[in-house]
Amino acid sequence: MNILVIGGGGREHALVWKIAQSPLVKTIYCAPGNPGTATLAENVAISVDQLDKLLAFAYENKIDLTVVGPEQPLSLGIVDLFKAHGLKVFGPSKDAALIEGSKAFSKDLMHKYGIPTAAYGVFSDLEEAKTFIDRTGAPIVVKADGLAAGKGVIIAETRVEAINAVRDMLSGNSFGSAGSRVVIEEFLTGEEASFLVITDGKNIIPLASAQDHKAIFDGDQGPNTGGMGAYSPAPVVTPAIHEIAMRRVLQPAIDGMAAEGRTYCGVLYAGLMVRDGEVKTLEFNARFGDPECQPLLMRLKSDIVPILLAVADGDLSGIELEWHDKAAVCVVMAAEGYPGEYRKGDEIIGLDQAAKLDDVYVFHAGTMTKEAACVTNGGRVLGVTALGATVKDAISEAYRGVGCITWSGVQYRTDIGRKALGRS
């Protein structure tokens, strides 16, 4: 088989890494890819939003399956385009991807189908938003309605912070057109977990549990990012919580999407808040989480290609997943200044040393090759991921890998996975 993976981040490197292990695969292409994917696939200089060029490439190179990594091409309708031309593709349609593309749509879906979530309001008028903020009180959560690369969420500690966040979003200063409408929610407390499933629109297969770390600094301090690290399994997802998540969140969401005429096929990611044995839904994403994808795929024992093909063919019946007993931890190494304006072009030292470690794999995200050197080229630069007999062991191995690598201004959290230790 010839497979095309669309995207150029850590998630896509992980997908290419896992796909490359399949005996079914002859050639892998990655568009646009990165220096990490280049070691396993042929990178193609086409951006994720150049749908017509991607389609032409798939035709010319006899691509048997296209796997879409990021949310942008999904929201632009790449799945619809490829299917209309008879090509197999993994991911939700444009109509279904709206579950991530519009937080207002997602919240309304939750409300309509009884999926537990925070109280909320949707606003495009500042004065109406102020009234809701005054009635709800702070802390309060302000979200840009549209896609904002995982960073369009502000947790406002005070009324003034909340109003300023709404004003900045509605003006277009914060997140451009993504903030032309805002969702404002009550602030939920508890412990977050990432719950991912694969589905053909009817059958649902849960993936292993995982937990992301959104904030930039240790102790969940500072602004939200696209994710500073993740681990799997997540002990907060007990068997009871797993059952609740499937019965009250994922099943109603997939059934609800079908009832709305938006049959959902692909990976559906639910961000959950767990507290006192109950679950509330923070958000839905229409693709693998990044960085959750990295530890999940390192733990997945099954060949991923038959799974992706089954979803693309619309029939997951009979598919079962097998997981390694080991835990996995991913630590994101980021550029100075991230999640704000960040530096680029710093040479990365120590990749060869990290590559020599057993059970450690370095997934590239924001990197590029410059004069034979690997340099930083994004906010989240690398995802150092490791396996271990326990989460504690995996943490040690991941940070051993991190310790091999450096560049000017590198930053990373030192507490990835710590929440799991108290529950293990």
- Of the chain, the end-to-end C-alpha distance in Å amounts to 41
Cα 90 to Cα 82: distance, rounded to the nearest angstrom? 10
More confident site: 174 or 394:
394
Say yes or no: 148 and 212 in one domain: no
Q: Whole-number mean pLDDT of the chain?
A: 95
Say yes or no: 138 and 176 in one domain: yes
Closest CA to 255 of 113, 116, 118: 113
Say yes or no: 147 and 48 in one domain: no
Residue 321 forms part of a structural domain? no
Say yes or no: 232 and 252 in one domain: yes
Calculate mean pLDDT across residues 167-190: 85
Residue 279 forms part of a structural domain? yes
Residue 195 forms part of a structural domain? yes
Residue 317 forms part of a structural domain? no
Say yes or no: 273 and 384 in one domain: no
Point out the domain boundary residue: 266, 283, 312: 312
Instruction: Let me know the angle formed at the C-alpha of 230 by 73 and 47, rounded to the nearest 5 degrees.
Output: 20
Cα 328 to Cα 297: distance, rounded to the nearest angstrom? 9
Residue 217 forms part of a structural domain? yes
Residue pair 120/135 in contact by the 8 Å Cβ criterion: no
The pLDDT of residue 151 is 67
Using one digit for the tens of pLDDT, what is the confidence trace for 404-419? 999 999 999 999 999 9
pLDDT at 422 over 80: no
Say yes or no: 306 and 338 in one domain: no
β-pairing verdict for 191-199 and 204-206 = antiparallel
Using one digit for the tens of pLDDT, what is the confidence trace for 228-269? 999 999 999 999 999 999 999 999 999 999 999 999 999 999
pLDDT at 178 over 70: no
> Which residue range is the domain that position 44 belongs to?
2-91
Q: What is the CATH number of the domain that holds 398?
A: 3.90.600.10
Q: What is the CATH number of the domain that holds 153?
A: 3.30.1490.20
Query: Which two structure tokens, joined as six digits, stand for 396?
Result: 């040690």
The pLDDT of residue 146 is 83
Residue pair 19/29 in contact by the 8 Å Cβ criterion: no
pLDDT at 176 over 80: no
Residue 196 forms part of a structural domain? yes
Residue pair 90/30 in contact by the 8 Å Cβ criterion: no
β-pairing verdict for 380-388 and 360-364 = antiparallel
Counting residues of the chain whose pLDDT is more than 70, the rounded percentage is 98
Q: Domain tally for the chain?
A: 4
pLDDT at 424 over 60: no
Q: What is the CATH number of the domain that holds 17?
A: 3.40.50.20
Say yes or no: 201 and 170 in one domain: no
Counting residues of the chain whose pLDDT is more than 90, the rounded percentage is 92
DSSP state of 124: S
pTM: 0.94
Residue 416 forms part of a structural domain? yes
The pLDDT of residue 4 is 98
Using one digit for the tens of pLDDT, what is the confidence trace for 269-311? 999 999 999 999 999 999 999 999 999 999 999 999 999 999 9
Residue 108 forms part of a structural domain? no
